[in-house]
Amino acid sequence: MECQICNRTMQPLFLKHRHWIYGCSECGHQSADVGNPAGHVEQIYSDEYFHGGGAGYSDYLAEKDLLRNHGQRYGRLLQKYMHPGTVFDVGAAAGFVLQGLIDTGWSGRGIEPNLRISEHARSHLNLRVDTGVLESFHTEERFDVVTMIQVVAHFPDLRKALQVASEITCRDGFWLIETWNRNSWVARIFGRHWHEYSPPSVVHWFTPTTLRHLVEPFGFREIGSGRPSKWLNGAHAISLLQYKLGGSIPGRLLAGAGKLIPQNIPLPYLAGDLFWMLFQKQR
Ligand SMILES: [Zn+2]
């Protein structure tokens, strides 16, 4: 496998969920071999991803308020760097994060591969969310900000996706990227058991450095970074943990405890393995 950041040959590291995880000894990037990318996105982001638990969501629509708050926090964060303008939200799902951005003064649209969940954004929230993938998206519109919240780790072909993102970003425009940090303490403690090693839905594992190396050849420069605060609802947190811990003793204990925890209360996402970076187009 070739590294999608520096083009060197990657070495197989370990097998996870029947997929090999590869590491680049030159730049440190890690990717999974998920086979033929054609049809990959449609297969992964089936309705099951949003409602079936496992690596995805136990009930995506139940996360509505938390995701909207997440969008509002980013809407306010972006205002430290620029006046509110237009956004394009990649992987918009049911439109909740986009709605949060709109709540804080932004306007815009998004794209989402899953038909049913994008239909929710259109019919329930009256948002402009196209059904499709960024890699084959085309518009004459240009946006002040392209937001990719927990999205870049899922692109089978990183450069193709970012090429389109670059084309639709206006002069001096921005990219806001949030993804998982494989250099975080939680990733290092858990090693290959880190819960974000969940191919085939997650294909890439970044650090702030490898993300910067990916983005810079597109003419974007980092102007800010940090760690997001994030909340999950109780049902999602427990479903995710059960999936990660599987049939282990903590997993079985949790399955029992899970029945006692109210499903709709927000729980803080404590893992601390997410980071965000803001980049600005230089040319
Ligand atoms: Zn590399």
User: From the CA of 240, how far away is ligand 1's center (Å)?
Assistant: 30
**20 part of a folded domain:** no
**29 part of a folded domain:** no
Res 47: pLDDT = 73
Q: Identify the H or E element spanning 41.
A: helix 40-44
Res 91: pLDDT = 96
Query: Residues of the chain whose pLDDT is less than 50?
Result: none
* Single-letter residue type at 233: N
Global confidence as pTM: 0.85
**258 part of a folded domain:** yes
User: From the CA of 179, how far away is ligand 1's center (Å)?
Assistant: 18
User: From the CA of 152, how far away is ligand 1's center (Å)?
Assistant: 16
User: From the CA of 210, how far away is ligand 1's center (Å)?
Assistant: 8
Res 127: pLDDT = 98
Q: Identify the H or E element spanning 144.
A: strand 143-149
**178 part of a folded domain:** yes
β-bridge mates for residue 148, sequence order? 177
Res 52: pLDDT = 66
**11 part of a folded domain:** no
Res 163: pLDDT = 98
User: From the CA of 177, how far away is ligand 1's center (Å)?
Assistant: 19
Res 39: pLDDT = 64
Res 31: pLDDT = 97
pLDDT digits 0-9 by tens, 25-66: 999 999 999 876 556 676 677 777 776 666 666 677 778 888
**62 part of a folded domain:** yes
Res 55: pLDDT = 62
Res 228: pLDDT = 86
**9 part of a folded domain:** no
User: From the CA of 203, how far away is ligand 1's center (Å)?
Assistant: 14
User: From the CA of 168, how far away is ligand 1's center (Å)?
Assistant: 26
User: From the CA of 213, how far away is ligand 1's center (Å)?
Assistant: 9
pLDDT digits 0-9 by tens, 198-224: 998 899 999 999 999 999 999 999 999
User: From the CA of 8, how far away is ligand 1's center (Å)?
Assistant: 6
**226 part of a folded domain:** yes
CATH of the domain at 94: 3.40.50.150
| Domain coverage including residue 140 | 34-281
Number of domains in the chain: 1
Q: How would DSSP label each residue in 55-117?
A: TS-S-GGGGHHHHHHHHHHHHHHHTTTS---EEEEET-TTSHHHHHHHHTT-EEEEEES-HHH
User: From the CA of 138, how far away is ligand 1's center (Å)?
Assistant: 29
Q: Identify the H or E element spanning 244.
A: helix 234-245
